[in-house]
Chains A and B, each alone.
Chain A
Amino acid sequence: MGPLEHFIGEAGARLTLVMNPAGQVLAQHGFTRAVDVMAAAALGAAIVSSTAEIARMLDEPDFSALNHQGVRHGIFVAGFDSPRGRLLALVVYGSNSSLGLVQLFFEDFVRDLVAACPAPADVRPVLAKDFERELNQSLATLFRT
């Protein structure tokens, strides 16, 4: 069982999105339509971006998490650092869960996800002498018959 499945099972989350700060989705659970995933990711990233700006105006370090509580659902949005950069999580939970449970198991989720994250690949500098060879290889692959 992966970190996301474990988190969903323990916290009782209904919808979960993991994305980068640009709103690009890395993982999701509970959504039935792709358009809902994209909309939620964009809105979640915008929420984090807006509150980061408020934090900057207050001369505060970035807010680590936000919670919006509705009548039937709550929304928890948090950012965390991984070996592959900053990531965001948006979690929607219902009456069978609570903010405390989501926060509690979110800590475990982040720890497990960071532990499972592959190390960032070494970035090789692009050298002119390699460029032509690699370009020809890529073109040959692309137009292979």
Chain B
Amino acid sequence: MTEIPRETRVLDAVVSLVDSLLDDFDVVDLLTSLTEHCARLLDVASAGLLLANPGRHLHLMAATSEQTRDLEVFQLQADQGPCLDCYATGQPVSVCDVQTETQRWPRFVAAATDAGFASVHAVPMRAAGTVLGALGLFGTRVGVLNDADLCVAQTLAHIACVAILQEHAPTPEIVLPHLQAAQSSRVVVEQAKGFLHERLGVSVEDAFALLRRYARTHDDHLTAVSRRLITEPDARSAILAAMRQMAASPS
């Protein structure tokens, strides 16, 4: 049997998860499938997902197996382990051999070894500048997660964030007004391009590039900048001055 390339398997997983997001879905069910995809794609024995409540206490949301479930719950009880560190720092944690970490997490290493795990990794779930939780990955063999693995894990963790934040499947009541809003956003961005074409004497294409660059540099939305430019005369001179400077300097 020819092996399906990993790229294809990753894309298949992403497509199937995103498909569920666009339809009626259950958040626990979806997150459980996500941990299953993780385990299959990343060459780890199991995966689990810890989510913080508003009081910043972590809770287990989903896991591929009871073993993982036990280990995740154990981390919470023992108040130590890779998922907790990952949640606290917002950074990925990767331990290719748990035996090297007996100092850092003495109780966790003992429990992991008992459960038959040799390597542990965790990637953060982040949204709106807040760490929401961590995705834990547990291997029965000693081994590292390479950059590609880490990227796959992080992508799946991002999808988990979207699933949690969205939770309810889109209904026509939500979708239809969004279409109207999207249309008016596009109109406003086109207007802003014309506005800059006139005021700065740049082409509409360059005007669009400037708008995007300005929005990114100022950590703002393209539509919000466009709307200010078009409807708020008082806001214009500052934005135009910054854009003139941008136009003069190469990107």
Q: Do A and B come from one complex?
A: no
A residues apposed to B, CB below 8 Å: none
B residues apposed to A, CB below 8 Å: none
